[in-house]
Structure 1
Amino acid sequence: MTHGTHDAVEDPRNEDVLIYVNGELVPRQEARISVFDSGYLVGDGVWEAVRLHKGVLVFLDQHLDRLWKAAATVGMDLKMSREELVDKIWRTLGANDMNDNVHVRFMLTRGIKKTPSQDPRLTISGPNLVIIAEYKVASKETKEKGITLFTSTIRRGSPDYLDPRLNCHSKIHEVQALIQALEAGADEALMLDINGFVSTCNATNFFMVTEGEVWTSTGQYCMNGVTRGNIIRICEGNGIPCRQKNFSLFDVYGADEAFVTGTFGGVTPVTEVDGRTIGKGEYGEISRKLSSLYEQLIESEVKRINNE
């Protein structure tokens, strides 16, 4: 059985959700895309995922900013405005009569290829857009139990060959890192940067707590996570020292607490890294406080949007 930051409470309604595929809403079991799709052939695509909470797509603007930056980075013309994309997302949610506790993933690839090839000039269609909205509530058991990490030998890449901040379809190095962690008996992978400093995890951003300070990486070699950024701002706004700095496994093994952040799970405690118990091996006081403050931020975001 899987255990990790994407653990969700089972919901039978997901069997009947409608999936958006290039303007059509089709039953989950009938959702298809061509084998000549550039995302399938060469991982040529970008994506985002947001939470629908009480009728509000939380932190949507931050996610759209990141999506458009990613598209510009890979030279992809999305052929639509932000407003048009948002309309398509709401169309999908409306068709599924969704209002709360929903995870929405929207993926754009360069399009259909004339023949299997990396060459973007052989793309014969506009971008392919798929939107998958599912009922998903993060597992409270996982939040309380926490997760274990194993440090992978797979490093986060240098910005000059694949910028780690790019949220693209090419995730094979994260997959390799996770496989190593699973084979080592851990739940997820911790990844170092090219200099040997702690960078991030395979699907979330890593934080540690030492002597009342929260530490996370410089951000040069990790996904520019929306939740990561919000946690940093929460710390700054609540008098909690937060350092974006280089640190090593030496620091992690001796930390008082550790946690990871992500759009789906929010703040999830880390109890063990490479077989070493972190702190007391439980949900730490500062980690729990930040989780509560993050939930408050979501509620305030919902109120702000509803009052506009």
Structure 2
Amino acid sequence: MKFAILNGEMIKRSDAKVDVEDRGYQFGDGVYEVIRVYNGKMFTINEHLERFVKSAESICITLPYTKKKITTLLEELILKNNLQEGIVYMQVTRGVAPRNHSFPTDNVLPSLVAYTKEVTRPLASLKTGVKTMVTEDIRWLRCDIKSLNLLGNLLAKQKAAESGCFEAIQHRSQEVTEGSSSNIFIIKDGSITTHPSNHLILKGITKDVILQVCESNKIVVEEQTFTLEDLASADEAFLSSTTAEVMPIIEVDGKRVGDGLPGPVTKRLQELFEQEIERQCGALKDKILK
């Protein structure tokens, strides 16, 4: 039997129901987080909670619990579900109220839900790399908020799926922003470039870990804009996300990136990222580079 958390209570997941007038259901009026679990421990939990709070505040939702209380609840949920490797999904909505575009009165309390899912590391793809495609970024201008409004992302991801690709790389007027569910990096002459963490992209937690390990290991990385032309001429490219980690990109729109294999800088970053996982969560059973 699996369990979920609904407004602070541990209940059977099958009993976790959404009211038809929940504003998350009707308007996408809420925010969410996906947190990776290795060896039964949450990876970068503090960073995820900080972003969760910031996203909620950006749309004027005050979380019903402190970050400390949420951490305790999620730890109990992981233990209750005996999750060793996977994710915790959590979201908060503005709550249940009669349908109206304007916010409900202050007596309507936010609704918070969380559940776990077993997700193994994509080791095969991490070793061989993935194919991607390019599509126009049609999303709104506050992509820094991890909102439940994901229709633009879903349409892009579906295009990728229909093209036999792992990810859709989005652009605005030829300027690469991010993937449908990832941040994008290119490497040229040993130097890494990725889009600045502004309102046009989500400030990825995995991206921030990569920036930190680059700084610690004197790997050159710049947060600046780059174009589709820069992407096409890159020596290497990779994407990052909570579940994809440091994922090599070997093809864009049917054209090879570099020699069509994961490159040395990307492999080095994978190694450093695994070291950071082990520092926070303990030894990994399987690694990319053996």
Fold shared, TM-score > 0.5 on shorter chain? yes
Conservation of the 8 A alpha-carbon contact between 2:40 and 2:79: no
SS of 2:52's equivalent in the other structure is: helix
- Please list every run of 5 or more consecutive structure 2 residues that lacks an aligned counterpart in the other structure: 283-290
Code of the residue aligned with 1:108 in structure 2: it is V
Shift of 1:274: 1.3
The secondary structure found in structure 2 opposite 1:88 is helix
Alignment of 1:135-174 (within 5 A): 135-158=118-141, 163-174=142-153
Q: Distance in 1 between matches of 2:36 and 2:162?
A: 31
Q: Which amino acid aligns with 2:86?
A: V
* Separation (CA, whole Å) in 2 of partners of 1:149 and 1:122: 45
Alpha-carbon distance, 1:104 to partner: 0.7
2:100 is aligned, of 105, 117, 127, to 117
Residue identity over aligned pairs, in percent, reads 26
- Aligned with 1:239 (options 197, 218, 230): 218
Q: Please, which of 132, 149, 161 is the counterpart of residue 115 of structure 2?
A: 132
Paired residues of 1:112 and 1:123 also in contact (CA < 8 A): no
Checking the alignment, whether the CA contact within 8 Å between 1:20 and 1:132 is kept in structure 2 is yes
Alpha carbons 1:156, 1:199 under 8 Å: kept: no
Correspondence for 2:85 = 101
Corresponding residue of 1:88 = 73
1:45 to 1:276, Cα distance in 2 relative to 1, 3 A: same
Structure 1: tracts of 5 or more residues without a match: 1-15, 304-308
Give the conservation status (yes or no) of the 8 Å contact 1:105–1:132: yes
How far did 1:141 drift?
A: 1.6
| Deviation of the 1:101 alpha carbon | 1.3
Within a 5 Å distance, the mapping from 1:57-72 to structure 2 comes to 57-72=42-57
- Total equivalences in the alignment: 281
1:107: how far off?
0.8
Aligned to 2:196: 218
For residues 21-75 of structure 1, the C-alpha deviation after alignment (integer angstroms, 9 at most, x for no partner) is 2234343444311111111100011111212223432211111111111111100
**In 2, distance between residues paired with 1:299 and 1:291?**
12
Q: Secondary structure, in 3 states, of the residue corresponding to 1:25?
A: strand
Q: Is the 1:52–1:58 contact (alpha carbons within 8 Å) kept by the matching residues of 2?
A: yes
Q: Of residues 59, 63, 73 in structure 2, which corresponds to 1:74?
A: 59
Give per-residue Cα distances to partners, 1:89-128, cap 9 Å, x unaligned: 1221222233x31311111111011x22222126863111
3-state SS in 2 of match to 1:133:
strand
Q: Which amino acid is 1:225 matched to? A: G
Q: Distance in 1 between matches of 2:104 and 2:5?
A: 26
Alpha-carbon distance between aligned partners in 2 of 1:176 and 1:27, rounded to the nearest angstrom? 32
C-alpha displacement of 1:280 = 1.5
SS at match of 2:104: helix
Cα RMSD over matched residues?
Answer: 1.8
Partner of 1:294: 273
Deviation (angstroms), 1:76? 0.4
TM-score computed with the length of structure 2 as normaliser: 0.90
Alignment of 1:262 with 2:247, yes or no, is no
Aligned counterpart, 2:184: 206
Q: 1:230 — aligned with what?
A: 209
Q: CA deviation at 1:242?
A: 0.6
Closer, same or farther: CA 156–281 of 1 in aligned 2, 3 Å:
farther
Give deviations 1:112-164, integer Å, cap 9, x for gaps.
11x22222126863111111112221221222232211111234543xxxx11
Output aligned runs, 1:40-55, within 5 Å: 40-55=25-40
